[in-house]
Structure 1
Amino acid sequence: MNKSFRRLALFLLVMLVALTGCQVVGGFDVNKALLSNLKPTSSESKEKLSIEVVPSAGNHSEEVTTAIELINSLSLTLDSVKVQDQNTASIEGSLSLKDTKVPFHLSVDKEGIALQVDGAKKPLYISMDSYSEAYYGMLDMTLLENEAQDFSYKTLELLLKHVPNPKNISVKQSEQQVNGEKLNLTNLHVELNGEDLLGLVKPFLNSLVKDEQGIKELIGAYYDAFYPIMESIYESYELEEDDVSEFTQQSKEEVIAEIYTSVQETLTELVNNYDKEVSNLLETSPEFKTVLGKNTVLKLDLFFDSKLNIRKQQLDLAIAIDPSEDMPIQSIKAKYDREVWNIGGSVKADKVDIAAGVLNVIDDNVTPGKLLRNFEGVAPLHKVLKNDFKITEKSVYIDPQNEYYGIIMKKNTSFAPLRYVAEELDAEVKWVPATKQIKIIDDITGGEIVLTVGSNKAKVNGEIVNLPQPPFVHTDGTTYIPLRFIAETLGANVAIDEYGWITLERD
């Protein structure tokens, strides 16, 4: 019970942070106002997000200090966000990192997502067709999106209905500037700390467990959302009757009754054991005493117009952390500001130009080398990816006795499967029929290695080098090559650990 309680309790806490306040405050219907902003509509906005990590007292390693400085230098500014409809939008803004600003342009439509970073050779691209096929097979994505959106709305509606107001919540009229225009807006102000947040969970559960009708309506929405999806899956893969789950063979009323019974039992158990489980949670996981203490503070201001549209948002969040050797920080802070206008108006998204080609993130097998070469014209980003995020780092472990990828010893030379080692280091392997040679293209440098089976001569970037022994084709058809040569030529160091495994390490 304790483990499952922790997961659910933490989930509810996160939800309560996002959905604080549902009752009428000063004549202002908070629930209605928040729900009215969940339905997608056209709009324009500008936003800014910054994060600060506060290190714990004492000296820290250079690696920790560098990581914290990198995070603290990060800020995201969205100068122009245009939502044309629920499928079409664009963002133009910049990412600030280490005092360097990297402008970017992102757009989304039914065909895909395109991201152009200023100075990059090609936009990064995710095809919606490829994404859908990779993650959802033959599923009708339109059906999934519409039903899931409706289910999400009804879920939030039920949660908001039962979330109690925190102690510090107020409403007042306020004059604010939105995109240079002065507006008289209704300001909803919420302020709560970790202790307040923890105190909201039990009243929320007590209220929710009594709402049989609301829970059943949500289960019905779940059924309406996912039953057609499951049917689509079964039809697409032409499953046999025996393979169809019991869920699809029951009536809607039977499904609702069965799921409600389970939900009701779980909620009742949570309510009955809440105080005990919270006590156990704080005792067995002392770090939560800090996270759910007075120093974790959320301050949120939402500014509504007369139509209940949120026109401005200001959020300040500080999460207190119990410092440790693995987590040498005492708090994480986030600041977010947003202004919105032209809500429901005529908005046309600014699409990224992909006519000259893209780097397709899914279809093109984007390796670290391809990514770095694409951003060679973006010096700060290229440097951060390589030096700070270390995307070229690679560790390959080889069991010498492995039946398929092991080592073969010949004349005191360790041979490894050529394709396996090369591809583990992201290199591309090609067979050239005209010359009966093997060409290996280094992922990081773009350099070429040309080999001939049976020859101890090879070309590395056009220069002839001698191999300790020639490559050979094993009886199973696999081409083997001296391990140290191929690994070191592709930038990796070779070592043997205490268990006899071979490790290839590339920085």
Structure 2
Amino acid sequence: MKRLKWLALPLALMLVVLAGCQAVAGFDINKALVQSLTLTSGESKQTLSIELVPAPGASAEDLEIIKLINSFSLTVDSGKTQDATHASIKGAVGFNGEKLPFHLSMDDEGMAVLVDGAKQPIYIPLDYAEEGVPNMDAYMEDIQKFSTQAGEFFIKHLPNPNKISVKKVTEPVNGESVNLTNLQVELNGEELLNLVKPFLTNVAGDEEGIKTVVGAFYDAIYPIISSEFATDFEGEDALGTLAESKPVAVAAISAAIKSELDGFLAKYDQSLAELKAELPELETVLGKDTVLKLNLYFDGNQNIRKENMELTVALPADEDLPIQAVKLRTDSELWNVGGKVDIDEVDTSAGVLDLTDENVTPGQVLRSFKSDSQLYKWLKDDLQITYKYVLLDPYNDYYDVISKDNTSFVPLRYVSEELDAEIKWTQGSKQIVIIDDITGGQIVVTQGSKQASVNGSPVTLAQPVFVHEDGTTYVPLRFIAESLGATVSVDEDGWITIERQ
């Protein structure tokens, strides 16, 4: 039951889009909202914050965590959209009383992010064509068309909430006073449930509208699923049915949707009552204390130029849940809508850190930032990305722990790789170099010798490094672990723990 009750939470987010569609005071809300779905160029700024409201009886530890989460904020000082694939953002993330400035830009090939204190940008490639995924650029026009038509269809059938109004105002946008139309909406969870059934009834009654949306979906999705990429998936019979002809496919899918909607609506009241009985938490999550307050400001061309939104989601009382509500606030302004916009590109000419590379280690990530930077401290101290925990059973052959002359030996490569260290060994040489992932320091050992060095300083081992009969090189456990910044402990049952903070 505890898992099921959280299924209700996403429903509250529907409050954001249920802003009404019918004309109010002569203002065509439907047309204005549909226009906002069409991607265009423009510039913007935005702030976003989150607040968790503590529940009565929350522990001191819970309150400390809540305070930390509530310290999060996002500020976008300059957002630029050039077209569907080119955009940039300059702003800052706030956390625990600190501000982390960042600069992000995106183009056809990938996204680059430069944060304060970084030695080079973080890069996330977005072009996966070489990995067998189809290049989506070729399908973007049809996908955009489907998104617009689907949005228009659903918005058209949304009933108005009780509290909705329109008025003429003058508001500052990017420092300029602009004459705008202010759409105000307030909606709570109880009202949401009252809107769902008429909304679905409107949708089910628009058979031609359903066919139009399904047709747009067909145009957008069929070229993708019929591409070479889709040949690896099962369901060839379904694909064949779709390929038979668009009219046949659209008619079949539309009829199925219509049938499902009619069946669902016939049992809607009974199903809702059963759901409330099964999930009594819905009475809270979708109750009067879950509230959306939305202000949208439109210019004379019905472009959104300003937005203020506050969403409060009430949560059911639970001894395992230290919060009673979540509040999300966002404010934004938009200008130069549809105008010429050139994005601010992140400079990647000096190299990048590719986080999609599966071989990137915690040390490589840390070394990409200045050691005195805030992000370095967050990654190392708060997120503890360098933390390692290795448990060895000396009595189990799987772990290959060998006790020799009162010294525990472990395979050099195994322990080194568990701690993300790099091993370099020259063929024909008995000398092995281990490079510490975090510090970049070097540890040098020699097969058959007690003599070693750590960062250039000589060290004498308790027992010499040796090569096992299976060809594996073994080193004293405590030496290699501690040289790589870890601690070693043994419990009363003999289990060995290697831990690095």
What's 2:63 paired with? 65
Contact 1:407–1:414 (Cα < 8 Å) also in 2: no
What's 1:296 paired with? 290
State yes or no: 1:219 paired with 2:210: no
Contact 2:298–2:304 (Cα < 8 Å) also in 1: yes
The range that moved more, 324-333 or 160-169, is 324-333
State yes or no: 1:198 paired with 2:196: no
The range that moved more, 15-24 or 67-76, is 15-24
Q: 1:414 to 1:335 in 2, by over 3 A?
A: same
- 2 CA distance for matches of 1:498 and 1:233? 59
Q: 1:183 to 1:406 in 2, by over 3 A?
A: same
| 2:155 counterpart letter in structure 1 | L
The range that moved more, 28-37 or 218-227, is 218-227
* Offset from partner CA, 1:264-299 (integer Å, 9 cap, x none): 444334323333333343333343332212111111
Q: 1:187 to 1:374 in 2, by over 3 A?
A: same
| 1:407 counterpart letter in structure 2 | D
Q: How far 1:210 moved relative to its partner?
A: 2.7
- 1 CA distance for matches of 2:297 and 2:123? 35
Q: How far 1:325 moved relative to its partner?
A: 4.3
Q: How far 1:186 moved relative to its partner?
A: 0.7
State yes or no: 1:38 paired with 2:29: no
| 1:392 counterpart letter in structure 2 | T
2:161 pairs, out of 160, 166, 169, with 166
State yes or no: 1:407 paired with 2:395: no
2:247 pairs, out of 249, 253, 260, with 253
The range that moved more, 225-234 or 420-429, is 420-429
What's 2:22 paired with? 23
2:76 pairs, out of 68, 78, 83, with 78
Contact 2:394–2:402 (Cα < 8 Å) also in 1: no
- 1 CA distance for matches of 2:415 and 2:454? 17
The DSSP-based 3-state class of the residue aligned with 2:345 is coil
Contact 1:49–1:334 (Cα < 8 Å) also in 2: yes
Matches within 5 A, 1:182-193: 182-193=177-188
CA RMSD of aligned residues (A): 3.3
| 2:237 counterpart letter in structure 1 | E
Q: 1:94 to 1:133 in 2, by over 3 A?
A: same
Contact 1:140–1:232 (Cα < 8 Å) also in 2: no
What's 1:361 paired with? 355
Q: How far 1:436 moved relative to its partner?
A: 4.3
Q: 1:209 to 1:359 in 2, by over 3 A?
A: same
Q: How far 1:351 moved relative to its partner?
A: 0.9
The DSSP-based 3-state class of the residue aligned with 2:282 is helix
Q: How far 1:313 moved relative to its partner?
A: 0.5
Q: 1:318 to 1:410 in 2, by over 3 A?
A: same
* Offset from partner CA, 1:54-85 (integer Å, 9 cap, x none): 222235243x3332222222211111111112
Q: How far 1:407 moved relative to its partner?
A: 2.7
Q: 1:169 to 1:416 in 2, by over 3 A?
A: farther
- 2 CA distance for matches of 1:472 and 1:22? 77
Q: How far 1:302 moved relative to its partner?
A: 0.5
Contact 2:133–2:229 (Cα < 8 Å) also in 1: no
* Offset from partner CA, 1:21-77 (integer Å, 9 cap, x none): 122222222121111111111111111111122222235243x33322222222111
* Offset from partner CA, 1:128-156 (integer Å, 9 cap, x none): 33x5545xx24122124333333322332
Q: How far 1:224 moved relative to its partner?
A: 1.8
2:384 pairs, out of 374, 386, 390, with 390
The range that moved more, 338-347 or 225-234, is 225-234
The DSSP-based 3-state class of the residue aligned with 1:293 is coil
The DSSP-based 3-state class of the residue aligned with 2:227 is helix
The DSSP-based 3-state class of the residue aligned with 1:24 is coil
- 1 CA distance for matches of 2:4 and 2:205? 21
Q: 1:200 to 1:448 in 2, by over 3 A?
A: farther
Q: How far 1:11 moved relative to its partner?
A: 5.6
The range that moved more, 344-353 or 96-105, is 96-105
Q: What percentage of residue pairs aligned between the two structures are identical?
A: 53
Contact 2:167–2:183 (Cα < 8 Å) also in 1: yes
What's 2:106 paired with? 108
What's 2:326 paired with? 332
- 2 CA distance for matches of 1:34 and 1:156? 9
State yes or no: 1:56 paired with 2:29: no
| 2:79 counterpart letter in structure 1 | V
- 1 CA distance for matches of 2:332 and 2:103? 18
- 1 CA distance for matches of 2:154 and 2:11? 10
Q: How far 1:108 moved relative to its partner?
A: 1.1
Q: How far 1:301 moved relative to its partner?
A: 0.5
Q: 1:423 to 1:219 in 2, by over 3 A?
A: farther
| 2:188 counterpart letter in structure 1 | N
| 2:151 counterpart letter in structure 1 | L
Contact 1:454–1:471 (Cα < 8 Å) also in 2: yes
The number of aligned residues is 495
Q: 1:459 to 1:345 in 2, by over 3 A?
A: same
| 1:290 counterpart letter in structure 2 | T
Q: How far 1:86 moved relative to its partner?
A: 1.4
TM-score w.r.t. the length of structure 2 is: 0.87
Name stretches of at least 5 consecutive residues in structure 1 with no aligned partner: none
Q: How far 1:495 moved relative to its partner?
A: 6.1
- 2 CA distance for matches of 1:482 and 1:98? 42
Name stretches of at least 5 consecutive residues in structure 2 with no aligned partner: none
| 1:57 counterpart letter in structure 2 | P
- 1 CA distance for matches of 2:68 and 2:303? 36
| 1:34 counterpart letter in structure 2 | L
What's 1:228 paired with? 223
- 2 CA distance for matches of 1:57 and 1:314? 29
1:208 pairs, out of 203, 206, 209, with 203
* Offset from partner CA, 1:439-458 (integer Å, 9 cap, x none): 33222333323333444443
